[in-house]
Amino acid sequence: MLKLGVLISGRGSNLEALIKAAEDKDYPARVACVVADIDAAGLEHARKAGIPAVIVPRREFKDRQSFEMAVDKEMRKHGVELVCLAGFMRILTPWFVEQWLDRLINIHPSLLPSFTGLDTHKRAIEAGVKFSGCTVHFVRAGLDSGPIIIQAAVPVLPEDSEEALAARVLIEEHKIYPAAVKLIAEGRVNIHEERVFIAGASAPESIINPAYF
């Protein structure tokens, strides 16, 4: 079983999706610990599942690296093999990224490399794109950068509000994060020249929005 360490700052809905996926005895990964930088609501998901849940308060540390060293210590204490960012609202330093290189993944609510950072759904609607979605990727030092593992797309509807689009994307997030972890745990994910190749994977047929016929 691949041991996961999950970092959160909020409600932890993607953490909950990973915990639920691991309830299947055939799922090849388990959440070993959860760390939050604040007293996040999502910690309750871990506590209910009997998973160690720790707060490492960012404000109690003199700088980012000392904070990250404390987080790193918690990961290693619980034998973590893959770190999963799930709504973790801190930009990690190159030091932390290097410690967990190719063992650190993130989920972002856009089709990267478009709309990095915050307010992704608002920006997608304003840009007039016909598709938005979510991305799971390996983390690099740049903001929301790194080799892409899996993406899910949803249509942007003419009447969409930011909240409506966010809700539709979130449904897909809860599918692809456990899927990405499963692929990694099964040893099917390979990185070559900063591109991800997945053994045995196939691509879907094209999709079009709007449907003009």
Which amino acid does the sequence have at 57? P
The span from the CA of 191 to the CA of 197, in Å, is 6
Contacts of 62 (CB under 8 A, 6+ apart): none
Catalytic residue positions, numbered: 108
Please state the φ and ψ torsions of residue 34, each to the nearest 5 degrees: -130, 130
CA dihedral 90, 195, 190, 34 (to 10 degrees): 10
The span from the CA of 31 to the CA of 52, in Å, is 9
